[in-house]
Amino acid sequence: MKTRAASLFATLAIAFVADSAHATASGTTVITNGTLINPGTGKVTENAVITIQGDHISAVGQTSATDIPKKGDRVIDARGKFILPGYIDTHVHFFQSGDIYTRPDAVDLTSIRSYKDEHAWIDRNKLDTLARYIRCGITSVVDVGGPMWNFAMRKFANSTEKAPRVAAAGPLISSVSRPQLELNGDPPIVKIETPEQGVQLVQKLAKEKPDYVKIWYIVNAENPVEKFRPIVHAVIAESHRLKLRVAVHATELEAARTSVEEGADLLVHSVTDKLVDDAFVKLLKEHGTILTPTLVVFERYGRTFANKLNLTPEEKAWGNPEVIASLDVTKIPADKIPERIKTALANPDAVLDRIQKTYDIALKNLKTLQDAGITIAAGTDAGNIGTIHGPALFREFQLMKEAGLTPMQILQSTTANAAKTFGGETGAKIGAIEPGKFADLVILKSNPLDDIARTSDIEAVMKNGILYPAEK
Min dist CB 336 to Zn ion, Å, is 27
- 396 binding Zn ion? (CB under 5 A): no
CA distance 116 to 120: 6
Residue number closest to Zn ion, CB atom:
381
- 143 binding Zn ion? (CB under 5 A): no
Name the residue nearer to Zn ion (CB basis): 381 or 440: 381
| Interface region with Zn ion, contact rule CB under 5 A, candidates 29-37, 101-109, 128-136, 379-387 | 379-387
Name the residue nearer to Zn ion (CB basis): 38 or 384: 384
Min dist CB 92 to Zn ion, Å, is 8
CA nearest neighbour of 264 among 226, 293, 236, 244: 236
Min dist CB 91 to Zn ion, Å, is 6
| Interface region with Zn ion, contact rule CB under 5 A, candidates 54-62, 184-192, 380-388, 415-423 | 380-388
CA nearest neighbour of 159 among 137, 127, 128, 136: 127
Min dist CB 42 to Zn ion, Å, is 30
| Interface region with Zn ion, contact rule CB under 5 A, candidates 309-317, 329-337, 351-359, 375-383 | 375-383
Name the residue nearer to Zn ion (CB basis): 189 or 411: 189
**Contact status, residue 88 vs residue 417, Cβ threshold 8 Å:** no
CA nearest neighbour of 59 among 104, 70, 327, 162: 70
- 381 binding Zn ion? (CB under 5 A): yes
Q: Which residues lie closer than 8 Å to 142 by C-beta, 6 or more apart?
A: 88, 89, 90, 91, 92, 166, 167, 168, 211, 212, 379, 418, 421, 422
C-beta atoms surrounding 21 within 10 Å: 6
> Dmax of the chain from CA atoms?
73
Min dist CB 268 to Zn ion, Å, is 6
Name the residue nearer to Zn ion (CB basis): 219 or 441: 219
| Interface region with Zn ion, contact rule CB under 5 A, candidates 54-62, 378-386, 397-405, 437-445 | 378-386
Angle at which helices 339-346 and 348-371 cross, to 10°: 90
Residue 448 buriedness (CB in 10 A; 0-12 / 13-18 / 19+): buried
Min dist CB 52 to Zn ion, Å, is 34
Min dist CB 117 to Zn ion, Å, is 23
Subset of residues 145 to 204 that bind Zn ion, contact rule: CB under 5 A: none
**Contact status, residue 42 vs residue 465, Cβ threshold 8 Å:** no
Residue 14 buriedness (CB in 10 A; 0-12 / 13-18 / 19+): exposed
| Interface region with Zn ion, contact rule CB under 5 A, candidates 50-58, 172-180, 376-384, 413-421 | 376-384
Name the residue nearer to Zn ion (CB basis): 55 or 381: 381
The DSSP call for residue 69 is P
Name the residue nearer to Zn ion (CB basis): 381 or 459: 381
CA nearest neighbour of 280 among 360, 372, 359, 364: 372
Min dist CB 276 to Zn ion, Å, is 20
**One-character DSSP codes across 455-468:** GG-EEEEEETTEEE
Which residues are at the interface with Zn ion (CB under 5 A)?
A: 381
